[in-house]
Amino acid sequence: MKVGLLKLLLLNIFIIGYSQVWQYKRANDPAIQYAGRIDFSDPLFPQFSFPGVSISARFSGTQLRAVLKEFGTGGPQTTNYFTVIIDGSIFKTFALTTTDTLYDLATGLVNQEHLVTLFKRTESSVGRVGFKGFLIPTSNLIPFDFNKNRKIEFIGDSWTCGYGNEIATNNPNTGFHSVNEDHYAAWGPIAARRLGATHVSTAISGRGLYRNNTGSTFNTIPQEYGRLYPGQNAPAWDPNRFVPDVVVIHLGTNDFYQESASPSLPLDSAAYVNAYLAFLQTIRGNYPSAKLVLAFGNSISDWYPVGLKQLTRWRNYIQATVNRFKAISDANIFSIELSVQSAPYGEDWHPSKATHLQMANELTPFLQNLMGWTNGTVDCNGVLNGSAHLDPCNRCVDGTTGLESCLTLAFKEEKEIEMISGIQISSQHISLQQYADTPWEITDIHGRVVLQGNHTLIDLEILPHHGVYILLVKQKSEQKRISFLKL
């Protein structure tokens, strides 16, 4: 059940149909922890638009709700999506609406302490979001230490936002759809989780250093950098709210875009390097001790457009920027070249999730070596602590990643492939013989129910498309949850 904001003025809320009193914990509760570019002008109603903003709390119980306000207009390009992470694993994804304010984040949990994180998947162009607080079934949130010793800021464009990474196609001329943007699965946040670091993302699609993909020199990333909302000078972002140990910048894709569309509009190398140097001086002024990493590559190549040799030129411009910054400022600046992306692509030729994972695979060990963040055994392309591994869906799970494993159904001729919690999984069916007459449902990764019932044999052939699904078996005492991939 969802109710309006006006009904949430009381601290204790009793919702008809439930046998408990819900406690309303306002946004300024000291037990709620925030990360990202957030406007706290009204501490009871913090607002934000940049991707990767996260709101975390620890609570005890079986369910949790949040009060959120959607400022996007609700269309295919302007609907905000959030990922809910419970105890380090993805629990669900959901969309905001222009009419609802009360959202179920989790139900059917084991009745014990849980850590929840609400993570904004979508970027600023989708719309602003406001947060009012959590509703919990117990008296208080449980204080916890959110501060991590490692902090990273990622600055970039659509490649850093995660534009279109939810799909994988060989025909990527699709246009932007916010449902297909998952910043949680973008290369920066993946690397941050692997390194056990808190991150802030300052990324806006289509923007460059000295010119944007439209050719405009207004509202470039250096001009937007001091703002809490793109295109709006006030309120300003206070850099003291988050002082990173390292800043990773990936900018240049949109500066090159105009010459890709029209060779008569070549990138101005002097304008690019000078804009980069000025921007780096701004960052250095904010963070005197941070290491600065200029990432490049992945988004352009030497073979397209034919004859322009864009990657070679970009490499030269980055090296010139690093050398000149060392000469005029300090040596605490570095660069990393990322491998050129390949098919399948996300929307509009952007990286798919597989490419974002590859980028994180390259960045993670680089930052470990640069920052000295190697304090344990290393596995899974640089993930620390010896317990992480690549799962059948090619995701690095366990360890410090914060991702749950995905069970693949792409097997050879075996009919019965695994037994999990009394649930038998095969490439064609899921058998629930131990759960006769128990309600179940299958949702997609956005939380949309695609199949439900209480029969004991589920035919997977009738699922609407290939991809990741979640089986929820709804027992009285708890809810069993298994993620799987239909290929």
Set out the domains of the chain in order of their start, with CATH numbers. 5-136 (2.60.120.260), 151-374 (3.40.50.1110), 407-486 (2.60.40.3080)
Helix 253-261 / helix 310-328 crossing angle, nearest 10 deg = 140
The percentage of the chain sitting over the pLDDT mark of 90, rounded to a whole number, equals 59
Q: Which runs of consecutive H residues, i.e. helices, occur in 151-268?
A: 158-161, 187-194, 221-224, 253-261
392-402: per-residue pLDDT in tens?
A: 454 555 554 44
CA Rg value for the chain? 23
Within 10 angstroms of residue 252's Cβ, the number of other Cβ atoms is 28
At 55-111, the pLDDT tens digits run 999 999 999 999 999 999 999 999 999 999 998 888 899 999 999 999 999 988 888
Q: Is 99 exposed, middle or buried (0-12, 13-18, 19+ CB in 10 A)?
A: exposed
| Separation of first and last alpha carbons in the chain | 35
Which range is most confident: 189-198, 284-293, 339-348? 284-293
Q: b/e map of 74-85 (b: 16 or more CB within 10 Å)?
A: eeebbbbbbbbb
Q: Is 61 helix (H, G, I), strand (E, B) or coil?
A: strand
Environment class of 126 (CB within 10 Å of its CB; exposed 0-12, middle 13-18, buried 19+): buried
What band does 412 get if pLDDT is binned at 50, 70 and 90? very low
Between strands 440-444 and 449-453, the pairing is: antiparallel
What's the token pair of residue 363? 């960045």
Q: Which residue intervals of 262-309 are DSSP H helices?
A: 269-286
pLDDT for the residue numbered 398: 53
Rounded Cα–Cα distance for residues 419 and 441 (Å)? 18
Highest mean pLDDT among 59-63, 179-183, 374-378, 472-476: 179-183
Grade residue 7 by pLDDT with cuts at 50, 70 and 90: very low
Say which residue, 458 or 221, is predicted with more confidence. Answer: 221
Q: How far apart are CA 102 and CA 90, in angstroms?
A: 20
Strand ranges across the sheet with 151-156: 198-203, 151-156, 246-250, 291-297, 333-338
Mean pLDDT, the chain, as a whole number? Answer: 85
Q: What is the C-alpha separation between 376 and 384, in angstroms, rounded?
A: 6
pLDDT value at position 325?
Answer: 98
